[in-house]
């Protein structure tokens, strides 16, 4: 309802800015198509979906495409194409402001205990503590935990009772929701489900494995059984399309702008030392697939053959990363290139080919991947990047591999186009300062 009011207001404002003969009869169509576009992009899903500006943008954009088609193809509606950009821009702004205001009001209400849903937890004490902590850390929480029930008849002084007391507790407390914490025996789950149906209480299951798996889980049906599709990263459709489109546009612009500089670098490398202009190295990308990464050669021609001889000089105690502070293999031109990361420019070709992205975890060499532990493979769950959180977070000054993985995991879990653009902007500052480069 509020969305419809916001879109209607946007239509009225757009009509004032870009006058149209008579849009009143088109209002239902304009409002309806935007609402359908939002629904098609899951902007009404529970959780953070309503707050996701990307979903709003895609929903409004989809409505704009449909409206443009209806305005062009016969039997066309009487809607000038010049009106659409104004309407869509104002509609998007109105939806963002409306949802922000709604969130503000709801959060204030929740902070004062208004509108919170009473929830009861069934689980063991340790698992209940994890659920309560998780809810307390969520700014958008809308539950008020009234207590918990133990899944067995073991006495617990802090519990409201055991599973045998569940019916009477639901009668007394009138809980709106019941949260199952962890894994319970099938017969216990059945007793809980029966009690919930009897008392009209919604049942929510929070599996114990959910606390150890990063990413996001999507409810699915496996045959006739409920299950979860656990995505290792948030980069699904349409996020991947948006990220790829951004890569292609910015990379094309970057290659055109940097072409003269790249020509000068190639000439300087040929004059300075013997060997090819480019250096190609096998790296590991998305899903563990190998690809050849391009760089300007910044070392002597025999550098790779000498790596084992100088491995004891590695700046990283962990062999899963390799870098020397004063690498004797680096040429004079190479030192300048590395100082300002100019040796990385040819990787724009890898980005065009889809093997890399402008932003993402740095691609490791196969030997490093061979030493990974299971938790480290999250680095390979997205397309590797020319720059990323490690580069803007300190580059080679961060010598703890676990810290590198932590930064990259946070990036993957919290991906957004805004985050990519922020990392790109920070990269310019890091490159110009030369901080952590060697």
Q: What are phi and psi of 359, to 5 degrees?
A: -130, 135
Q: Which helix (H) or strand (E) holds 296?
A: strand 290-296
Q: Of 111, 134, 168, which one is at a domain's C-terminal end?
A: 111
Q: Is residue 232 part of a domain?
A: no
20 and 167 housed in the same domain: no
Domain check: are 105 and 162 in the same one?
A: no
Question: What whole-number distance in Å separates Cα of residue 94 and Cα of residue 100?
Answer: 10
CA dihedral 314, 319, 322, 326 (to 10 degrees): 0
Q: Per residue in 290-314, pLDDT tens?
A: 999 999 988 877 656 656 555 555 5
| Cβ neighbours of residue 291 closer than 8 Å, sequence gap 6 or more | 282, 283, 285, 350, 355, 356, 363
Same domain, 105 and 188: no
Residue 233 falls inside a structural domain: no
Nearest to 39 by CA among 58, 64, 66: 58
Are the CB atoms for 135 and 145 separated by under 8 Å?
A: yes
Round to whole Å and give the CA distance between 156 and 418: 48
**Do 410 and 267 have their domain in common?**
yes
335/200 same-domain check:
no
* C-alpha count within 13 angstroms, C-beta hemisphere, residue 346: 17
Domain stops at, among 63, 93, 111: 111
Residue 304 domain-assigned (yes or no) = yes
Listed residues 95, 111, 127: the one ending a domain:
111
Instruction: For residue 132, give the CATH number of its domain.
Output: 3.40.50.720
Q: What is the total count of domains within the chain?
A: 3
Q: Say whether both 22 and 107 belong to one domain.
A: yes
Q: Is residue 257 part of a domain?
A: yes
At which residue do the structure tokens 């300075």 appear? Answer: 272
Contact 149, 161 (CB under 8 A): yes
Residue 47 confidence (pLDDT): 59
pLDDT in the model for residue 19: 64
Which range of residues forms the domain containing residue 55? Answer: 2-111
Q: Measured between alpha carbons, how far is 95 from 106 in angstroms, rounded to an integer?
A: 16
Q: Classify residue 313: in a domain, yes or no.
A: yes
Residue 337 domain flag: yes
Task: Give the C-alpha distances (Å, rounded to integers) separating 143 from 50, 51, 101, 369, 400.
Answer: 18, 19, 20, 43, 39
| 262, 375: one domain | yes
Total length of the chain = 438
222 domain residue, yes or no = no
0.75 exceeded by pTM: no
Q: Is the residue at 88 inside a domain?
A: yes
The pLDDT profile of the chain, 438 residues, written as one tens digit per residue, is 777 777 777 777 777 676 665 556 666 777 777 778 777 766 766 556 666 777 778 778 777 777 777 767 666 666 666 677 777 788 888 888 877 777 777 666 656 656 677 888 888 877 777 777 776 655 556 677 888 888 877 777 788 888 888 888 888 888 888 888 877 888 888 888 888 888 888 888 887 666 556 556 667 767 766 777 666 555 555 667 778 888 998 999 899 999 999 999 999 988 888 888 898 999 999 888 899 999 998 887 765 665 655 555 555 555 555 555 666 678 888 888 888 889 999 999 999 998 999 999 999 989 888 888 878 888 888 899 999 988 887 655 666 788 888 888 888 877 878 888 889 988 888 887 766 454
Are 269 and 411 contained in the same domain?
Answer: yes
Residues 198 and 254 in one domain: no
Residues 380 and 244 reside in one and the same domain: yes
104 and 62, same structural domain? yes
pLDDT tens track for 58-88? 778 777 777 777 767 666 666 666 677 777 7
Beta bridge partners, 279, equal 295
Query: Do residues 94 and 128 both lie within one domain?
Result: no
């Amino acid at each position: 309802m509020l969305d419809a009011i916001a879109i209607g207001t946007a239509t009225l404002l757009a009509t004032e800015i870009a006058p149209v003969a008579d849009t009143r009869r088109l209002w239902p169509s304009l409002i309806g198509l935007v609402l359908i576009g939002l629904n098609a992009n899951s902007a009404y899903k529970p959780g953070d979906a309503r707050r996701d500006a990307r979903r709003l943008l895609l929903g409004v954009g989809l409505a704009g495409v449909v409206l443009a088609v209806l305005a062009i193809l016969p039997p066309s509606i009487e809607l000038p194409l010049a009106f659409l950009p104004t309407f869509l821009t104002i509609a998007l702004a109105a939806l963002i402001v409306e949802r922000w205001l709604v969130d503000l009001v709801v959060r204030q209400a929740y902070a004062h205990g208004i509108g919170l849903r009473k929830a009861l937890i069934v689980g063991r004490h340790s698992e209940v503590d994890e659920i309560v902590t998780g809810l307390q850390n969520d700014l958008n929480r809308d539950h008020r935990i009234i207590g918990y029930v133990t899944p067995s008849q073991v006495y617990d002084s802090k519990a409201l009772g055991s599973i045998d007391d569940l019916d009477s507790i639901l009668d007394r407390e009138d809980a709106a929701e019941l949260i199952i914490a962890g894994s319970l025996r099938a017969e216990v789950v059945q007793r809980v489900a029966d009690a919930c149906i009897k008392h009209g209480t919604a049942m929510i299951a929070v599996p114990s494995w959910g606390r150890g798996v990063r990413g996001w889980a999507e409810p699915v049906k496996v045959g006739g059984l409920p299950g979860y599709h656990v995505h290792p990263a948030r980069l699904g459709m349409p996020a991947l399309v948006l990220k790829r489109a951004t890569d292609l546009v910015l990379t094309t612009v970057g290659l055109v702008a940097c072409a003269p500089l790249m020509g000068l670098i190639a000439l300087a490398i040929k004059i300075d030392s013997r060997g090819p202009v480019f250096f190609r190295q096998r790296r590991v990308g998305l899903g563990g697939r190998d690809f050849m990464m391009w760089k300007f050669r910044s070392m002597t021609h025999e550098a790779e053959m000498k790596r084992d001889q100088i491995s004891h000089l590695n700046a990283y105690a962990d062999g899963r990363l390799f870098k020397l502070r004063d690498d004797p293999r680096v040429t004079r031109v190479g030192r300048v290139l590395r100082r300002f990361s100019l040796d990385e420019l040819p990787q724009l070709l890898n980005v065009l080919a889809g093997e890399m992205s402008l932003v993402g975890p740095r691609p490791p060499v196969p030997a490093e991947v061979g030493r990974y532990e299971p938790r480290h493979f999250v680095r390979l769950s997205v397309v590797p990047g020319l720059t990323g959180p490690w580069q803007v977070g300190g580059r080679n000054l961060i010598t703890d591999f676990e810290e590198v993985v932590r930064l990259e995991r946070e990036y993957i879990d919290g991906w957004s186009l805004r985050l990519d653009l922020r990392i790109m902007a920070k990269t310019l500052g890091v490159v110009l300062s030369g901080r952590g480069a060697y």
